[in-house]
Amino acid sequence: MEPNKKRLKLDNIKINIKSILSDDFLDHIPLEAVYVASIAEKKQFSSLIFELNKYLPFDNLSHLKRIRKNDVIICKLNDLITFTSEIENECHLKSTIEDLNLECNEILDILRNEKLAKIHVHRSILIGYLKAKGISDNGFLQKLCDDLKIVDIPSKQSLLRWQYEEMNKIWPCKFHPNKQMELLHKNENFTSNELIFHQTIIMIIKKIMNLEKNLYKNVGICVDPRTNSVVAMSTNLAPTQCGTPSSFHINEKIKHCPILLIDFVARTQNGGIWKYENIKFLENTNDEKEFCGILKEYVELLRCGLGDEQIGAQKININNQKGNSNKIIKEMVGNVPNNCNDFYGEDEQNNLEKYGPYLCTGYDIYFLKEPCLMCAMALIHSRARRIFFVESTNDGALKTCTKLHTAKGLNHHYEVFQCSIID
């Protein structure tokens, strides 16, 4: 490559990096109503808890402690509502309804509506419910339900300490801290050296966008975090720069920056679907790295910010891959963490060292713009490790419209961060 007449310079910027977490980590834990009985005599606790645990298991409230001082959780209010709805014609409930001189639908209204709450109705129905569940009636049930109250308790497990501290004031909770998620929530998960590197990549992206000849909408850079080396980079290419797919036609509208970046990464692994016209990629100059995913016109910027040693993708190990592609894919994909809380595992590192890269597995990807739903899903299928972006977009799928990476039904999750530039 011919040297530029004037060496490019990067603007000095500072950034704040904020984790984009699932709403489960940001929202207050919802509450739900339960029946609580107060037991005056401590000696009654053991027999009571034995029967409750046997006939009314605490599985759906396992994040709570069943006892608070003299108070014991009996069951959920909704359990009683369901019970009343389902077996209103059963004989053990019929007599209770007749004694109350109320229609079943009136009882349901009372149970559902706190403003109409009549504790004697709750007590009578609860005794019938406990009998139906198999708890013995030795005179203790009536005594148990004499001092009855409805209490709101946390309905779900606390995921972070701030939620636990808030919920524990309402009712004693169990809590298992997750150090990594605590750091992500506090935005304290990066070291000073890591912050400097992220800042450098964002500076390069901003510089590309500020070049007069570059009028594209987005810029993407893919990095191997093991070496902090740029694997591939892309922009929204002009239509005249993109040729036709090598095997079948694909609409021009899908050629967003992230889609092209994934294709550029595939080029470094002897793949890729598009043939590109009027585009020059950096040519390979050694046997250890692939450079065919990097646009030649921006190499000087990369060198200015990172240096030659941090440019290029790890090559695929042809000797290990030959004749064993199914086994390799099974090993590599099988060892990739599916949970967004997991990081670069030892098995994954070993497989990458042994076989070379597979799609975007383990790679960090940086964008100027928040990816749309199509691109965000493509990055999931490519098994990216982390996504960083600077600017939110109206159709963004990682923060603005939805948080696709937090969807529980996906078979892969990546972490997402927004990098805000400090003026």
CA separation (Å) from 237 to 58, 207, 216?
A: 58, 17, 7
What is the predicted pLDDT for the residue at 355? 59
Domain 14-21+185-422 belongs to what topology?
A: Cytidine Deaminase; domain 2 (3.40.140)
What is the predicted pLDDT for the residue at 196? 92
Show pLDDT as tens, one digit a residue, over the chain (423 residues).
444 444 556 667 789 999 999 999 999 999 998 888 888 777 777 777 888 888 888 878 889 998 898 888 988 888 887 877 765 545 555 555 555 555 566 666 666 665 455 666 677 778 778 877 888 776 667 767 778 888 899 999 999 999 999 999 999 999 999 999 999 999 999 999 999 999 999 999 988 887 755 555 789 999 999 999 999 999 876 444 444 444 334 456 678 899 999 999 999 998 888 888 778 888 876 677 889 999 888 888 898 888 888 999 988 865 555 444 445 444 544 444 444 444 344 555 555 565 568 889 889 999 999 999 999 999 999 999 999 999 999 999 999 999 999 998 898 999 999 999 887
**CATH 3.40.140.10 residue ranges in the chain?**
14-21+185-422
What is the predicted pLDDT for the residue at 81? 78
∠ Cα 47 49 126 (to 5°)? 100
What is the predicted pLDDT for the residue at 98? 55
What is the predicted pLDDT for the residue at 341? 40
What is the predicted pLDDT for the residue at 139? 62
What is the predicted pLDDT for the residue at 48? 78
Q: Supply the angle between the helices 77-86 and 119-133 in degrees, to the nearest 10.
A: 70
151: β partners: 34
What is the predicted pLDDT for the residue at 416? 97
28-59 in b/e burial notation, b at 16+ Cβ within 10 A? Answer: ebeeebbbbbebeeeeeeeebeebbeeebeee
